């Protein structure tokens, strides 16, 4: 017998789909053209008021245009079950705008669809629709609306609105040192390179949707129930997604509207959102106001913590940004209390945006910890180490695995933290003020039930299928590695495919759970296939990939039916889960601030993470780096500006909504500690898609304070705030 080859898991394998993307062979939703000669194009007609109703829509000029096939409005849209409200639980089933009534609830809400033979004709047709409204008074003022803030219903992803343990907030009164501050984060919006896109085609009663989605099975379920048709009659295909970050995790109005329009015109319809339409009808991160209060001994031991969160939602549906969740888990203290309240505004319903709650919440908590460290005269790193949580604070459960101490030690050493002069404005490089800040990163470890199938193909390769998605994170690649490892085959003899609702069902790609959920199912399927092949020794004794393939081809040829095996994996029920499951990290950041202009530069970021085992060291570190880059944007640039008079976003384009570019990013030094969390799943892995954007905003804000002496508690940290000439809440 030959020695077993080294496991492909953890190796820096190039993306197996990389070449297809580089040369343009990768087909995204908007690239599909069923029946090209008859393919139509659809464009949304959107409201221009924030509250009221449509009195009249004059569609005559649009309908008279050459090439226009349909102007779909409330007047001629088919009646849908439940008036178009999805018959599934949010967030998969949002309350959509499907032309079932004349209500207008936010500026930019879909109120019509124009379908034409070309995109140009559809755009011109949409521009010619004239709408008359009976306008009502919208609520667009967050500060004023706070008077009517209310607790969300318990359940969902956020848990109860209020939570406390120990003596709760009452223990704060006896703390020798108390710190209270308010931190805010603005509305921001996703901007994946690929905007939302759907192509809909009917063949009799059967609907095929090519959709840019983070959950192919979720689209199948939601669309079938919303339209009132059998789920067996809906087929969803999504082989490539050009970024999602949460906005493509739910089914939004345009998906169902495309299907409705396609059925009405009897031809395939393509509907691709324009870039400005990414603001409003497909969600975004809600605004938050967070009050954090810390009570501690003079030596820095936390006695009590309180975190009160207010975030906005739409006037017609609740969405919760659970910003207090990291406070419930990150540090050890005996008494805690967190609350969550919602404010209704006349805007589109917010949604998940990379690390929802955790990214906004760690900004507030980690800035408060930095402020407490300065109040006590204690090094910010030492303060965190002295309050290290050996178990989950509120439940007392042990962690499935946690190596945050090693993260602190490694990252601090690489960054050179011990050389930091703690006095604000004490470090300079020529004319630049230099600031060093740090913070803790964290994100929950999630899993869900997943299925996979492995099949020996006639050509001697193995095809592995799971109905998951690759939203740019490398799922094709890491699942190929998992399968090859379980089968004992080189990766070139394994092909992994995904993105089709006819494949074995898998969960949505959100909550950083795709790899942790689908990976064990793929492993189970491949181990089951390997067991079926167990008595066939030739393929295992082969000396190279060519010989193995020949042996497997011979095995396949000798069977009347393909040899296949299914695999499943699911987490235990919550009440049977013995461990608390989270990932952690330590983030250190350096900023340079121009003392005259307030310009902020970020020359370097150093971070180390405790995230379990990495499936691919190249794609894994890339994911973490990408989160840090987004954190630079969140901390210093991103803000969606809502016009208080009209409710329309003033900067709904990439010219005025600023995101980081290459010139904004300096050195990023990212590592992970050696870890194998088999208490969490059989592969020892935890998700890494979102933890990279947690902690980094706090580290940058703390670095700006160290550089300037100006404590900025309101994101983004623009140059006027760094100079202290802009209004800064609670300063």
Token digits of residue 193:
């390179």
What distance in Å separates the CA atoms of residue 720 and residue 535, rounded to the nearest whole number? Answer: 72
> What is the DSSP code (8-state) at residue 118?
S
In sequence order, what are the residues at sequence separation of 6 or more whose Cβ sits closer than 8 angstroms to the Cβ of residue 368? 179, 181, 183, 292, 294
- Nearest to residue 7, comparing CAs of 488, 392, 402, 423? 488
Beta bridge partners of 183: 290
In sequence order, what are the residues at sequence separation of 6 or more whose Cβ sits closer than 8 angstroms to the Cβ of residue 396? none
What distance in Å separates the CA atoms of residue 210 and residue 39, rounded to the nearest whole number? Answer: 13
Tokens 């064990």 found at: 520
From the candidates 167, 531, 690, 727, which is the catalytic residue? 690
What distance in Å separates the CA atoms of residue 657 and residue 662, rounded to the nearest whole number? Answer: 16
- Nearest to residue 338, comparing CAs of 320, 319, 325? 325
Any catalytic annotation for residue 690? Answer: yes
Terminal alpha carbon distance of the chain? 71
The residue count for the chain:
731
For 314-336, give one letter per residue: b (16+ CB within 10 A) or e. bbebbbbbbbbbbbbbbbebebb
- Nearest to residue 246, comparing CAs of 472, 503, 584? 472
Contact 344, 314 (CB under 8 A): yes
What distance in Å separates the CA atoms of residue 241 and residue 472, rounded to the nearest whole number? Answer: 6
Tokens 């008074």 found at: 137
What distance in Å separates the CA atoms of residue 57 and residue 51, rounded to the nearest whole number? Answer: 16
Contact 129, 112 (CB under 8 A): yes
Contact 453, 496 (CB under 8 A): no
Tell me the helices (H) and strands (E) count for the chain, helix number first.
16, 24
Which residues are catalytic, by number? 690
């Amino acid at each position: 017998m030959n020695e077993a080859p080294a496991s492909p898991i953890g190796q820096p394998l190039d993306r197996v789909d990389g070449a297809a993307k580089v040369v343009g062979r990768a087909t995204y939703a908007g690239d599909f053209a069923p029946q090209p000669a008859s393919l139509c194009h659809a464009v949304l007609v959107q409201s221009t008021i924030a509250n009221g109703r449509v009195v009249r829509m004059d569609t005559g000029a649009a309908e008279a245009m050459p090439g226009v096939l349909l102007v779909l409005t409330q007047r001629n849209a088919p009646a849908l079950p439940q008036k178009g409200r999805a018959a599934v639980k949010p967030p998969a089933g949002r309350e959509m705008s499907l032309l079932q009534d004349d209500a207008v609830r936010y500026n930019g809400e879909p109120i019509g669809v124009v379908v034409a033979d070309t995109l140009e004709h559809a755009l011109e047709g949409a521009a010619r629709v004239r709408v008359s409204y009976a306008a009502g008074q919208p609520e667009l003022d967050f500060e004023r609306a706070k008077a009517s803030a209310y607790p969300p219903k318990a359940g969902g992803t956020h848990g109860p609105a209020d939570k406390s343990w120990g003596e709760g907030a009452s223990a704060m009164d006896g703390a020798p040192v108390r710190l209270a501050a308010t931190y805010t984060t603005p509305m921001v919006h996703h901007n994946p390179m690929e905007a939302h896109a759907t192509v809909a085609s009917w063949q009799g009663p059967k609907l095929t949707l090519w959709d840019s989605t983070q959950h192919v099975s979720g689209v199948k379920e939601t669309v079938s129930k919303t339209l009132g048709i059998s789920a067996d009659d809906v087929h969803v295909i999504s082989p490539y997604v050009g970024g999602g970050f949460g906005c493509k995790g739910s089914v939004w109005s345009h998906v169902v509207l495309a299907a409705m329009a396609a059925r009405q015109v009897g031809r395939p319809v393509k509907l691709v959102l324009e870039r400005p339409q990414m603001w409003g009808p497909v969600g975004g991160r809600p605004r938050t106001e967070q009050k954090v209060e810390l009570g501690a001994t003079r030596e820095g031991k936390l006695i009590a913590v309180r975190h009160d969160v207010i975030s906005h939602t739409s006037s017609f549906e609740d969405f919760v940004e659970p910003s207090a969740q990291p406070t419930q888990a990150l540090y050890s203290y005996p008494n805690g209390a967190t609350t969550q309240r919602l404010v209704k505004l006349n805007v589109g319903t917010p949604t998940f945006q990379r690390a929802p709650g955790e990214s906004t919440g760690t900004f507030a908590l980690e800035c408060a910890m930095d402020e407490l460290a300065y109040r006590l005269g204690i090094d910010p790193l030492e303060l965190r180490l002295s309050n290290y949580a050996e178990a989950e604070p509120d439940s007392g459960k042990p962690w499935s695995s946690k190596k945050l101490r090693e993260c602190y030690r490694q990252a601090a050493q690489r960054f050179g933290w011990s050389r930091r002069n703690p006095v604000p404005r004490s470090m300079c490089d020529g004319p630049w003020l230099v600031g060093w800040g740090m913070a803790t990163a964290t994100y929950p470890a999630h899993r869900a039930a997943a299925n996979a199938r492995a099949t020996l193909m006639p050509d001697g390769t193995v095809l592995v299928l799971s109905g998951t998605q690759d939203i740019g994170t490398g799922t094709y690649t890491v699942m190929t590695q998992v399968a090859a490892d379980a089968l004992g085959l080189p990766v070139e003899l394994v092909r992994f495919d995904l993105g089709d609702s006819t494949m074995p069902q898998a969960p949505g790609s959100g909550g950083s759970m795709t790899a942790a959920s689908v990976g064990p199912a793929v492993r189970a399927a491949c181990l089951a296939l390997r067991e079926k092949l167990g008595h066939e020794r030739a393929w295992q004794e082969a000396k190279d990939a060519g010989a193995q393939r020949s042996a497997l081809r011979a095995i396949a040829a000798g069977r009347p039916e393909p040899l296949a095996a299914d695999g499943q994996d699911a987490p235990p029920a919550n009440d049977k889960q013995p461990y608390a499951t989270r990932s952690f990290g330590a983030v250190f950041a350096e900023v340079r601030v121009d003392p005259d202009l307030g310009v902020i530069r970020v020359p370097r970021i150093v971070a180390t993470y405790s995230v379990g085992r990495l499936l691919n060291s190249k794609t894994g570190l890339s994911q973490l780096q990408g989160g840090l880059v987004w954190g630079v944007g969140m901390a210093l640039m991103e803000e969606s500006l809502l016009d208080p008079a009209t409710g329309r976003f003033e900067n709904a384009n990439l010219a005025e909504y600023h995101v980081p570019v290459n010139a904004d990013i300096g050195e990023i030094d990212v590592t992970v500690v050696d870890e194998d969390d088999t208490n969490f799943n059989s592969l020892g892995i935890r998700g890494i898609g979102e933890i990279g954007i947690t902690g980094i905003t706090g580290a940058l804000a703390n670095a700006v304070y160290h550089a300037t002496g100006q404590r900025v508690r309101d994101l983004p940290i623009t140059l006027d705030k760094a100079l202290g000439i802009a209004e800064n809440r609670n300063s």
